[in-house]
Amino acid sequence: TYAIRAPQDYKADSPRKWPTVLILHGSNMNGRAYVATIAAAWPEIARDFILLGINGETASNTGDDPRFNYSYVNYMGHSTYKGFPGTDRESPALVYQAMGDLKEVYPIEHYLVGGHSQGGFLTYCLMMNFPESIAGAFPISCGLLMQCDPEVYSDQALREAQRKVPLAIIHGKNDPIMGFGKGQYAASLFGDTGWPAFRFFT
């Protein structure tokens, strides 16, 4: 399931394609809340971009305000690590598939993918395993799974595609849930590899 918001000048009969901000929610949250927050806090982004929030596949509650969680911890993707049977269908694969499906339905030009906390971990998974689907990534207040370390991928074509994705890591120094060290560590890994377009916002 997902929530989507059209930009200001959207017209259903127009051939125009729009850049899209895909925001991935934190644990026990939903995409609608994040889409609404971005639209309220940054109206200029809501004016110029489609806003999209894809929910995790696991519901943590139901009702008028359903909440969800992503699965990604055991997802190995294209890394050199080997996964368990079935874990190749965790959230990274499902969200990637949904991104393709939604691009067929809505006038999406390209995706800028970001996520908060749990959604940030997932952002790294998408960027490292499906880089061709992402025009930029901005993980927020999260850490990096070992299987998303930029040095655990051996396929040269994949490594080149990964490094074409601009990366902005965002982390508060006073984050009480996901300590600042998690963001700092991820930034050091991408910085040490000489990621071509990279910035750490604190």
Report pLDDT for 63: 87
Element (H, E) at 191: helix 180-192
Distance CA 98, CA 105 (A): 11
pLDDT for the residue 178: 96
How confident is the model at residue 102, as a pLDDT?
A: 98
| Positions of the chain with pLDDT under 70 | none
pLDDT of residue 68: 98
Phi, psi of 59 (to 5 degrees): -80, 130
- For residue 52, is it left (φ>0), alpha (ψ between -120 and 50) or beta? beta
Q: How high is the pLDDT of residue 48?
A: 97
User: Rounded to two decimals, what is the model's pTM?
Assistant: 0.97
- β strands within 55-166, DSSP E: 58-61, 67-69, 108-116, 136-140
pLDDT of 38 reads 98
Rounded to a whole number, what is the distance in angstroms from the first to the last CA of the chain? 32
